[in-house]
Structure 1
Amino acid sequence: MLDRYAINIIRSPLKLMSDLLDGQKITANHVTVTGFFIGLFALPMIALQWYWWGLFFIVINRIFDGLDGAVARRQGITDCGGFLDITLDFLFYSMVPFAFVLSDPDSNAVAGAFLIFSFIGTGASFLSFAVMAGKRNIESPVYKQKSLYYIGGLMEGTETIACFVLFCLFPDYFAPIAWIFGTLCWLTTATRIWAGYHTLKD
């Protein structure tokens, strides 16, 4: 829901950074993979209940995720780059709640499993529609710069990042936040299924 506004805010600083990286012959795929491996450090940090360090690595990962798109738009968007970006994104998204489950299994296990379950819904509805839209050459009217059709919803990337930040700032409240966010993700999944089905049917 907020992605279209967040993109406008971060576009200029990301462009400046992408100009510097492009001069160093660093590709968008380099940025994607580097950001993913940096983000993996959030797993042990959160599992050890070092939540501020976990937040640090989450933020770095998300900066790299925005930066790889800026570099790609400068150097040329590719299918392999888009595939790599979205795959590693979804792995990272599922890793964060798993890390909180490891940090306190007794309190967080069920809520964390529910949140990962909800991510399957948002991810499946997002990607399956993108495949079908690609077959029909349907372009997104809002996210034209994306390598695949980016179908929006109530809960998108910006909201997910905000949720992860709340997890790290208020780890004792992981379970209620996860239940609320997971429920909103299922509302997103339902609206995407409805909109995607009728778009493709028409």
Structure 2
Amino acid sequence: MLDRYAIPVIRWPLKRAAIQLNQWEIKPDTVTISGFFIGLLAVPALAFQAYGLALMFIVINRVFDGLDGALAREQRLSDAGGFLDITLDFIFYASIPFGFALADPANNAIAASFLLFCFMGTGASFLAFATMASKHQIDNPVYANKSMYYIGGITEGTETIASFVLMCLFPTYMAWIAGIFGAACLITAASRVWAGYQTLRALDTPSS
């Protein structure tokens, strides 16, 4: 929901950084993979309840995630790069609830499991529709520079990272934050399934 407002704000600094990285001949996939492994360091940090350190790794991961796309646009967008980016993003997103479950299993495990369940709904509906949108050559003008179709919802990347930040800042309220955000994810998944089904059904129905 907030991505369309956040992306224009961060686009200029990311572009400037990407221009410099391009001059150094750094490849987008290198940035993607580096950011992914840095982000995974949040898991052991969370497990040891080093929440400030985990937050730093999460933020760095998200900066790298923005940089790889900006750098790809300076060089060349590729399906391979887009595939790598979205796959590692989803693995990273799932790793953070897991880290909180390790930090305090008694209080966080059920909330983390619920959030992962909700992530499955948003992720499956997102990727399934992106596949069909590509087949039917459906364009999304809001995210025209993305490698695949981005179907919206009330929980997108901005909201996801905001929830992770809140969990790190207020770890004792992790279960509440995960519960509220997870419920919003379920609404997003339901709306995507409904909108995607109706869109594709209309395309499958022969016009009279």
Taking structure 2 as the reference length, the TM-score comes to: 0.96
* Deviations 1:137-190, CA, capped at 9 Å, x for gaps: 111121100000011100000000000000000000000110110000000000
Aligned counterparts of 1:141 and 1:129: Cα–Cα separation in 2 = 16
Match of 1:50 in 2: 50
Aligned counterparts of 1:36 and 1:17: Cα–Cα separation in 2 = 18
Q: Which amino acid aligns with 2:123?
A: G
Aligned counterparts of 2:80 and 2:139: Cα–Cα separation in 1 = 18
Aligned counterparts of 1:85 and 1:58: Cα–Cα separation in 2 = 16
Aligned counterparts of 1:61 and 1:141: Cα–Cα separation in 2 = 26
Aligned counterparts of 1:122 and 1:75: Cα–Cα separation in 2 = 30
2:90 aligned with 1:96 = no
Aligned counterparts of 1:112 and 1:151: Cα–Cα separation in 2 = 25
* Deviations 1:6-59, CA, capped at 9 Å, x for gaps: 000000000010000001111111110000011111010011000000000000
Secondary structure of 2:44 counterpart? helix
2:87 aligned with 1:77 = no
Match of 1:62 in 2: 62
Aligned counterparts of 1:78 and 1:110: Cα–Cα separation in 2 = 39
2:146 aligned with 1:156 = no
Aligned counterparts of 1:42 and 1:111: Cα–Cα separation in 2 = 18
Q: Which amino acid aligns with 1:197?
A: Y
- Quote the offset at 1:76 in angstroms: 1.2
Q: Which amino acid aligns with 1:63?
A: V
Aligned counterparts of 2:150 and 2:177: Cα–Cα separation in 1 = 26
2:168 aligned with 1:176 = no
Secondary structure of 2:129 counterpart? helix
Match of 1:31 in 2: 31
Match of 2:19 in 1: 19
Aligned counterparts of 1:194 and 1:142: Cα–Cα separation in 2 = 20
Aligned counterparts of 2:136 and 2:67: Cα–Cα separation in 1 = 29
Q: Which amino acid aligns with 1:136?
A: H
Match of 1:145 in 2: 145
What is the number of equivalent residue pairs in this alignment?
202
4+ runs of 1 displaced by more than 4 Å? none
Aligned counterparts of 1:115 and 1:167: Cα–Cα separation in 2 = 12
Identity of aligned residues (%): 61
Gaps of 5+ in 1: none
Q: Which amino acid aligns with 1:113?
A: S
Match of 1:188 in 2: 188
Gaps of 5+ in 2: 203-208
Taking structure 1 as the reference length, the TM-score comes to: 0.99
Aligned counterparts of 2:65 and 2:90: Cα–Cα separation in 1 = 12
Q: Which amino acid aligns with 2:134?
A: G
Match of 1:116 in 2: 116
CA-based RMSD of the aligned residues comes to 0.5
- Quote the offset at 1:84 in angstroms: 0.2
Q: Which amino acid aligns with 2:83?
A: F
Rg larger for: 2
